[in-house]
Structure 1
Amino acid sequence: MPLDKPYKDIPGTTIFDAEESRKGYWLNQFCMSLMQPENRERFKANERAYLDEWAMTEEQKLAVLARDLNRCIANGGNIYFLAKIGATDGKSFQQMAGSMTGMSEEDYRAMMISGGRPIEGNRYQHEWDAKKQKENN
């Protein structure tokens, strides 16, 4: 019986709970392997071959290859583990976060310095749904 998860109504947010942890176990283990220099070198030498050593889903592997962090999170990735991919690629956490929002690093930095996204219109998924519906009409 699934647990009631009222936090699922937060738009644009995936809460890394036990279910997400189970789903992303091997993806996150792969990310942690990148803490070892020899594993980073093996990954950079042949990304697909290194990924194929892990019991990840094909979707997880494709998300990593595309460096689509939002897709990785949707497949159980935890941002703190995924940061190891960014570090392997020489990216800062700020660059990674900017890529996840569709903003440039500079625009993302400016938004965060100014206080982040406004709470109005961003509290509940139905607010985003209403905004999308209004834009489509």
Structure 2
Amino acid sequence: MTRDIHAYLAELEDIPGTRVFTAERARQGYHLNQFAMSLMSEESRVRFTRDERAYLDAWPMSEAQKQAVLDRDYNRCLDLGGNIYFLSKLFATDGISFAEAVSTMTGMDFDSYRKMMAAGGRSPDGQRSIREGR
């Protein structure tokens, strides 16, 4: 049985709160992710923190991607092709832990997020499909 890969990947978009890093997202976010990886260099981190907008303007990213970085809207960065592991370089540049950055993506404060994760994470009960509203 042959399965249409595009239909299969489209099904993954139906999972609430999940952004699967597909080849399409990788293409869309290539320059966003390259920007994030540039922050591995101390010189780049200094240039970025000195003038974030000027540093971002040197990258061929979309305006929406640049604004998402400036706003530190990590969910929007993911929507626009960002990869969480590449974006972790931005978290580190800002001096926040991976867990603290991820907590902002849940709408929870860090302490509540930390306690939820220590207790086993989110409940599997709740909305399981965007399309079906269930």
TM-score (norm 1): 0.89
The equivalent residue for 2:6 is 3
Rounded to whole Å, the distance in 2 between the matches of 1:85 and 1:122 is 31
Q: Which amino acid aligns with 2:40?
A: M
Matched residue, 1:35: 40
Gapped regions of structure 2 (runs ≥ 5): none
Q: Does 1:54 align with 2:59?
A: yes
CA drift of 1:9 comes to: 1.4
Supply the distance in 2 between the matched residues of 1:119 and 1:125 (Cα, whole angstroms). 15
Alignment-derived partner of residue 99 in structure 1 = 104
Aligned partner letter, 1:3:
H
One-letter code aligned to 2:6: L
Percent of aligned pairs sharing the same letter: 54
Matched, 1:73 2:78: yes
Q: Which amino acid aligns with 1:13?
A: T
Q: How much has 1:119 moved relative to structure 2?
A: 1.0
Structure 1: give runs of 5+ residues left out of the alignment: 131-137
Alpha-carbon distance in 2 for matches of 1:68, 1:79: 12
CA–CA separation in structure 2 for the residues paired with 1:115 and 1:31: 30
Q: Distance in 1 between matches of 2:54 and 2:63?
A: 13
Query: Secondary structure of the equivalent of 2:89?
Result: helix
Aligned pair count? 129
Supply the RMSD in Å over aligned alpha carbons.
1.5
